[in-house]
Amino acid sequence: MRRPIAASVAVAVVAIAVATTASGAQSRPDKAVSLVRELKEASGGAALDRPDGFHESGTVTRDGRAGVYEYWGDLRSLRSLGSHTIAGQTSVGGFDGKQAWSVDPNGKVLIDASPKGVSAARLGTYVSIGGYFYPDRFPAAFSYQGRRRHAGCVYDVVAVTPKDGDTAELWLDAKTHRLMRISAQADGVQTSGDILSYQVVDGTWIGFALRQNEGRHQMTQQLTRYVYGPVDAARFSPPPPS
């Protein structure tokens, strides 16, 4: 399953990637690694290894305001770019592998190369492109957090911390092993995202309808297009400072 929560970096990095803590439950790395392998098999297996990148687009509603978004992900180098337009205002955000950057609706370019900003952006990109499918490409620490219930369903929860990144929790359906939910905390604000439906694209399971909560903020996403293919590396670089 690709891009389990929000799509655009302006959404994904800000909303989920700034997570800083995982559950304090007893760590079981062997169990966690086994579950992540099962997650990959349930999500397309070897079909996930073929693409170099992807581009998606769709609609987004945040706090009742509707808009559209686009997102590009590099599956080989942990880079991302996203944009969203809501109520006529467009924001863009990216991660080039070394620094996070954004362009606000007024065209102002902001660069964040701080350890905290890069750590958050790294996790946001990692989660958004499904980096846990590629442990050889994108090293990460996994630990099993036990079984939990949410909305009447049972999940196996795995905490994941990509190298030099923050931590998030992956909630895998106990029966299908597919990713259905992600949770994290950012500066005391609980953030969670749920996959509402999947579609199969080139043999891989992609979350096409998603719901996210960031404290008091709510957002839903509906993909309308998802295409695998290489992405020009230049796309992930920030524009010249304004």
- How much is the average pLDDT of 194-222? 96
Domain 9-232: which topology? outer membrane lipoprotein receptor (LolB), chain A (2.50.20)
State residue 24's pLDDT score.
40
Mean pLDDT score across all residues of the chain: 88
Q: Which residues contact 232 (CB under 8 A, 6 or more apart)?
A: none
Q: For residue 161, what are its two tokens?
A: 């911390």
Confidence of residue 15 (pLDDT cuts 50, 70, 90): very low
Whole-model pTM: value is 0.88
Rounded Cα–Cα distance for residues 124 and 122 (Å): 5
- How much is the average pLDDT of 125-154? 96
Q: What is the pLDDT of residues 53-99, one digit of tens each?
A: 999 999 999 999 999 999 999 999 999 999 999 999 999 999 999 99
Rounded Cα–Cα distance for residues 26 and 43 (Å): 27
Rounded Cα–Cα distance for residues 216 and 166 (Å): 22
Strand bridging mode 179-186 / 89-95:
unpaired
Q: Per-domain residue ranges for the chain? A: 9-232
Backbone dihedral angles phi then psi of residue 230, each to the nearest 5 degrees: -65, 150
